[in-house]
């Protein structure tokens, strides 16, 4: 069995970072691999299709990376910028092209991974506020949510991609 035949968390990689960062980074690596696997054969119009009313693959891809950006902004102790708030409003809008969609996804995921690596374990217990209401959490809570939220939406993306594939036959 090749190392790439198992999920990232079982590969023994990223040993240079602490366990929290490693778990988050492995979840993000798995998201990248799942998008590559399940979206590679989708035609351009299929990326924005909503079969059976499901959210489109493109919408999920935009939401994954834009929500990572927002969550990490909160983890870094900052509030969202006007640009981030505008990006939130446009997640449902179709991308200009397949190339632009995949470029945003890859760039957003790579940026998120670098930002995750910048946190120090000593900061994990620090309080943070989320949203306009400043709902209470911690740096660790936000980092863990980056992983679980990403995987939740990747699962939805894969489901939509499988439905599209099934409708072709």
- Residue 34 covered by a domain: no
- A 10 A CB-CB count for 34 gives 18
Angle at 131 between CA 159 and CA 87, to 5 degrees: 55
- Residue 46 covered by a domain: no
Residue 137's DSSP bridge partners are 128
Collapsing DSSP to helix, strand or coil, 128 comes out as: strand
Collapsing DSSP to helix, strand or coil, 45 comes out as: helix
Confidence of residue 126 (pLDDT cuts 50, 70, 90): very high
- Residue 87 covered by a domain: yes
Encode pLDDT of 79-124 as tens digits.
999 999 999 999 888 877 999 999 999 999 999 999 999 999 999 9
pLDDT at 163 over 90: yes
Task: Name the residue among 61, 32, 55 with its Cα closest to residue 164.
Answer: 55
- Residue 109 covered by a domain: yes
**Strand (E) or helix (H) holding 165:** helix 139-168
- Residue 49 covered by a domain: no
Question: Domain limits at 143?
Answer: 55-164
What CA–CA distance (Å, rounded) separates 27 from 76?
Answer: 20
Encode pLDDT of 66-79 as tens digits.
999 999 999 999 99
What CA–CA distance (Å, rounded) separates 79 from 76?
Answer: 9
What CA–CA distance (Å, rounded) separates 89 from 13?
Answer: 36
pTM of the predicted structure, to 2 decimals: 0.94
- Residue 29 covered by a domain: no
CATH number at residue 87: 1.20.120.450
What CA–CA distance (Å, rounded) separates 85 from 112?
Answer: 17
Confidence of residue 1 (pLDDT cuts 50, 70, 90): low
Tell me what the mean pLDDT of segment 125-144 comes to.
97
- Residue 48 covered by a domain: no
What CA–CA distance (Å, rounded) separates 129 from 54?
Answer: 31
The domain total for the chain is 1
- Residue 10 covered by a domain: no
What CA–CA distance (Å, rounded) separates 35 from 81?
Answer: 28
Instruction: Look at residue 61 in the predicted model and tell me its pLDDT.
Output: 97
């Amino acid at each position: 069995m090749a190392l790439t035949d198992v999920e990232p968390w079982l590969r023994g990689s990223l040993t240079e970072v602490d366990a929290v960062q490693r778990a988050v980074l492995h979840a993000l690596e798995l998201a990248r691999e799942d998008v590559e696997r399940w979206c590679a054969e989708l035609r351009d119009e299929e990326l924005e299709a909503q079969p059976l009313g499901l959210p489109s693959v493109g919408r999920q891809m935009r939401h994954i990376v834009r929500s990572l950006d927002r969550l990490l902004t909160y983890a870094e102790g900052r509030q969202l910028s006007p640009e981030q708030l505008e990006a939130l409003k446009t997640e449902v809008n179709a991308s200009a092209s397949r190339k632009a969609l995949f470029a945003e996804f890859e760039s957003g995921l790579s940026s998120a991974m670098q930002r995750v690596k910048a946190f120090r374990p000593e900061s994990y217990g620090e309080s943070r506020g989320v949203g306009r209401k400043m709902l209470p959490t911690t740096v660790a809570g936000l980092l863990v949510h980056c992983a679980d939220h990403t995987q939740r939406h990747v699962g939805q993306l894969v489901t939509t991609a499988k439905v599209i594939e099934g409708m072709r036959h």
